[in-house]
Amino acid sequence: MSRFNELVQTIPPATLGIIALCVALYAVQIIFDVRLNSWTLCPRIVLAHHEYYRIVTSALLHATLIHIGMNMMSMSSIGSMLEKRMGTLRLLYTMLLS
């Protein structure tokens, strides 16, 4: 078994799912050349134009490969620790509220 497979098997399911979701969205973002300024958080635009979707999309979109790489590395370590301590459902609930 490769080191990568061993690493993936140690990551709890909710953390792994969140990482997979963010990586998949980054791939879609790159393939379709999504303009980030249409989706990222700007409180003035959210309030003035009622674009409330920006609150969620700004948390899921990433600007560069290094940006998503660093975020997913920290999600892997912090999310794994929290999920093992809190449980899968509580972590998902906390992530949803975040």
Read off the pLDDT of residues 45-67 as tens digits, 9 standing for 90 and up.
999 999 999 998 888 889 999 99
Give the Cβ contact number of residue 87 at 10 Å. 13
Mean pLDDT of 35-48: 90
Backbone angles phi, psi at 2, to 5 degrees: -80, 160
> Considering the entire predicted model, what is its pTM?
0.84
User: Using CA atoms, how far apart are residues 95 and 13, in angstroms rounded to an integer?
Assistant: 14
Which tokens is 45 given?
């635009």
Which tokens is 53 given?
């979707």
Read off the pLDDT of residues 64-98 as tens digits, 9 standing for 90 and up.
999 999 999 999 999 999 999 999 999 999 988 88
